[in-house]
Amino acid sequence: MSTSHQVDRHRIPRDRTNDYSPEAARMRRDFVREQTGVELKHAGSYSFDPEAVKGNCEHFMGVSQVPLGVAGPVRVNGEHAQGEFYVPMATAEGTLVASYNRGMRLTREAGGVTVTVADDAMQRAPVFAFDNAQTAKRFGLWIKEQMPAIRDAAEATTRVGKLRDIEHYAAARFLYLRFNYTTGDAAGQNMCGKATHAACQWILANTPYAVERFSLSGNMDTDKKPSQVNFLHSRGKRVIAECTVPDKLMREIMGIDSKSLYQRRIMSMTGAFMAGSMNNGAHAANGITATFIATGQDAANVAESCVGAAVGELTDDNGYYFSITLPSLICASYGGGTGLPSQRECLEMMDCYGQGKSLKLAEIIGATVLAGELSLAAAVATGDWVTSHEQYGRNR
């Protein structure tokens, strides 16, 4: 047997005429069965035309079916989302949907969650290397002078993206330029990459300074990684959700008084500080991941979207004020996976599909996260955390 034949034997089959057809998908499932002995019966059962995943998935062979639950309604008092919404949550973790549902009941009866989108920008951060730091500094001054031309070059690549500003960070003989864009209702990472590439090509062609090395990503945008710079300067949407719960309501629904919950919040915050955590809350990643998968977001963005600052305070009348700030929530109502059939339906449940809806979606997710934070914090404090998982979270 020749080497080339051995390679072909293990090569995933493709149809060069139409690789997004039921036949092409079946061909790959057959290939997997031949290679592994596993029959993909459930993965091969889906209700949409495989053509719909073109641009979202290569080597398509089927679907990974994640259980989909619904929580709510959550009452949102936002600038873009007002009213009550049922939230789709895709998860394989027992108790998760029930916990968020309980938190939504609490916040709903307390009058709802007030949500604010304080900032909205997406980044790409190229780096330029020079012979020394002085040249890098002079290059940075030249960049500031050339902003109109740089903006024109970047924005020529996109219909909706706008270059808002460029941050400068100098280290050694490197200059990192953090390009900040508004991206409409798309998440915008690819949009920003394309626009920044065009801007940098203009810079390289016109700068009077000798650039020794250049990289389109200097890793200061920290794409799909949590970071302090994005905590401070925001990436995606900076969402702040807050709610004040009366002590009587806290006792009735959560089985704990506000003062006791506040005291436990202090201990929890201290523990997060000692651990060096990028989130001092309970489990923002749970709610974000479940809604992201349900609505066709890029699930890898959870890595930075779950960064957060949770704050709890006792009010003068012994109520409990709680807020969660998500400085880098990356979500979209248009583009990417949002147009896939199941994911679009989930967005439409909340009237969050299409143009002009991304800020509304961000506010609903922020309110959802807050509800889950209150529910889990109370469950941990009362001991319900363990018993709930014992009741709902085990396969019997």
Please identify every residue annotated as catalytic. 93, 298, 389
Sequence-separated (6 or more) residues with CB below 8 Å from residue 191 = 122, 158, 160, 161, 181, 183
Separation between Cα atoms, residue 140 and residue 150, nearest integer Å: 13
SS (H, E, C) 351-380: CCCCCCCHHHHHHHHHHHHHHHHHHHHHHH
Structure tokens at 350: 């909340």
Cα torsion through 349, 354, 355, 361, rounded to 10: 40
Q: Within a 10 A sphere around the Cβ of 176, how many other Cβ atoms?
A: 21
As a whole number of angstroms, the distance between CA 66 and CA 26 comes to 21
Q: Check whether the bond before 226 is cis (ω within 30° of 0).
A: no
Nearest to 161 by CA among 128, 109, 198: 198
Dihedral angle over CA of 84, 384, 241, 233, nearest 10: -140
Q: How far apart are CA 191 and CA 159, in angstroms?
A: 10
Pairing of strands 174-182, 236-245: unpaired
Between the CA of residue 389 and those of 91, 94, 128, what are the distances in Å?
A: 14, 7, 51
Contact call for residues 70 and 86 (beta carbons, < 8 A): yes
Q: How many CB atoms sit inside 10 A of residue 313's CB?
A: 13
